[in-house]
Amino acid sequence: MMILPGTGRGTGAAGGGGVPHTLRPEVSLARKLRREMSLPEVLLWEQLRGQKTGIKFRHQHPIGPYVCDFYCAGAKLAVEVDGEFHGRGDRPQRDAGRDQFFEQNGHRVLRVAAGEVLRDIEAVVTMIVSSAASPLHQPAAGPPPRAGEE
């Protein structure tokens, strides 16, 4: 592709053209992970995608430098499916760092064991949907105190 001087536009074919778009690394990674989901992730995605609650989920969704397994934007809920390797080596510390990043950026994190997805997917889906449906912040009980009161 040739770039025209001073325009920032290429001389590509009709309808195309323009400067090639470079994806952020986390978007490229998310696309790759969507093609390579584990069996528990595939089964859970089929259930979350097909549920009729009106709560929408995305799979392999980038948040900052990380990609979470499932994400509900309306509830700011990141769902992570943890396989058996998540308890080994430095993985617990890495997962804690991810969780901290998500939480510091206003997202809730729900971790579910891959084995639990395989054993009782209905219970896992119910737990995820319930978490997504619950408000981010619980309202205070009663009216706020008047000025000068606590």
In the predicted model, what is the mean pLDDT of the chain? Answer: 79
pLDDT at 22: 53
3-state secondary structure (DSSP) of residue 89: coil
Q: CB of 75 within 8 A of CB of 55?
A: yes
DSSP 23: P
Say yes or no to pLDDT of 128 above 50.
yes
pLDDT at 54: 87
DSSP 19: P
Output Rg (C-alpha) for the chain, integer angstroms: 21
Say yes or no to pLDDT of 12 above 50.
no
- Catalogue all structural domains in the chain, each as residue range(s) with its CATH number: 39-133 (3.40.960.10)
- pTM, two decimal places: 0.69
Alpha carbons 128 and 81: distance in angstroms, whole number: 11
pLDDT in tens, 20-54: 555 566 666 556 556 668 899 999 999 999 888 88
Name 8's Cβ contacts closer than 8 Å, sequence gap at least 6: 19
